[in-house]
Chain A
Amino acid sequence: MSARRHPSEERLLAFEAGTLSAPEAVVVATHLALQPQTRAWTHLARAVGGAVLEEQEPSPLKAGALESILARLDDAEPRPDLVVTRPRNTDTSLPAPLRGFELGPWRWAGPGVHVRNVLGPRDGDCRVILLRIASGQSAPRHTHNGVELTCVIEGAYATQDGVFEPGDFEEADPSVLHQPRVVSDTPCLCVAALDGQIVLPGRLGKILAPFVRL
């Protein structure tokens, strides 16, 4: 019996309502980019958003608002009607939602493990990282304070819940200590929203701990 591989319905609704925290939204968007079938839920959520919009008791716009908009329509014409989202990084292998953010440098985080920050989305201590873990290696240990969402981009890892492959989304259960291990022949690349610190292994980790925030 396999665990679910997509975000919960309430998380998908919050994503479409625009109320999910930025780091969580990045991981959910990555999943949606890689797993279009989950969009049945997000499109339903948008339709619900439309229904909620229809139900609103109208709050009148300022007098003259329509006239001022009509006067601006001609100005609006020459402008390109689609705002093209400019990629902010050159890693063309990343799913579209991740191309919109600048990336920090890759850093070593244990044997076979590298980490880089996705710059921008933050919510308190929660932030987004890319993790690259070599075949056969395990994810680094980390302190776990709360949110921890993961989406596989390349490769695969396994936990006691089974194998997680590209597009698969995992919501860590804080009550379960799991140590994902990479089972693909190639490295496993994941995006994660992490609240807490990665703990470097061994003596070196203890020495570096006060200085390195991963």
Chain B
Amino acid sequence: MVSQPPRDFSALIALVAQAKDRAAFAEIFGYYGPRIKALLIKSGSAPAMAEELAQEAMLTVWRKAASYDPARASVSAWIYTIARNLRSDALRRGSSALYAFDSTFGAEAPAQPDAIVSGAQDDACVRAAMRSLNPDQAQAIEMAFYQEQTHSQISQALGVPLGTVKARIRFGMMKLRAFIERETGGRA
């Protein structure tokens, strides 16, 4: 279900940031571009829109590579956030106002003692944590990302009550957090 990223993308982003390395960029593009497009299509974007936003997201990766801080976020979380913001902007949700205050994953705020996911080294841990969930919880959490839809629509799609969907997401998130804190030495 989950494959390891084939390369150390954090190092590739650093090459883009420091040396404007096009080969490194091409590799990031080849891996993440098609995955962003796939995620956007599952989120309800038309294929042409998903293609455009995926390309725009990769261009943003090139422009903002210097602002990527591996101590604060995994590459996949950072790129996910870029794609999410572009989609949200395209839907005119005012995301630049809503998400800009935390675009650096808390870098502008004082260090938080309860930061649980702090960077690239935790990426594998997050995916392991996802595998530790029971299938219902993992499904509800994944669906929350896929559909351009609310929890009540997930509830209809799954044929389970809204409260159940919310509870699965809530307890799934708590379990993820507990798993990661345990694996990373109780950083909470």
Contact = CB atoms under 8 A, between A and B. Distances in A.
Interface string A55-97: 1111111100110111011001001011101001000000111
A13 B169 contact: yes
Contacts of B87: 18
Contact of B101 (A14, A33, A50, A60): A33
Contact of A41 (B77, B122, B127, B173): B173
B123 A44 contact: no
Interface in B120-167: 122-123, 126-127, 130, 141-142, 144-151, 165-166
Contacts of A120: 94
Contacts, number: 229
B131 to A, nearest CB: 10
Contacts of B25: 70, 73
A46 B73 contact: yes
Nearest to B131: A51
A9 B171 CA distance: 8
Contacts of B96: 83, 85, 100
Contacts of A40: 112, 114-117, 177, 188
B126 A48 contact: yes
Given A13-B141, A59-B34, A76-B62, A47 B101 contact: no
A207 interface: no
B12 interface: no
A2 interface: no
Contacts of B182: none
Interface in B77-136: 77-81, 83-84, 87-88, 93-102, 105-106, 109-110, 112, 114-117, 122-123, 126-127, 130
Q: Is chain B's interface secondary structure helix, strand, loop, or mixed overall?
A: helix
Interface string B19-49: 0101001100110111111110111000100
A120 B149 CA distance: 20
B174 interface: yes
B101 A44 contact: no
A110 to B, nearest CB: 29
A26 B77 CA distance: 22
A44 B179 CA distance: 12
Contact of A50 (B79, B165, B166, B173): B79
Interface string A97-125: 10111000000000000000000110000
A18 B95 contact: yes
B186 interface: no
28 contacts: A9-B169, A14-B144, A17-B144, A19-B149, A19-B150, A29-B101, A36-B106, A36-B109, A40-B114, A40-B177, A44-B116, A44-B126, A44-B180, A46-B80, A48-B141, A50-B126, A52-B80, A53-B32, A53-B36, A53-B39, A53-B76, A54-B5, A55-B2, A58-B38, A59-B47, A61-B55, A76-B63, A85-B97
Interface of A: 8-10, 12-14, 16-19, 21-22, 25-26, 29, 32-33, 36-37, 39-62, 65-66, 68-70, 72-73, 76, 79, 81-83, 85, 88, 95-97, 99-101, 120-121
Per CB-CB distance, the 6 closest pairs between chain A and chain B, nearest first, are: A100-B97, A50-B76, A58-B34, A50-B77, A59-B38, A10-B169
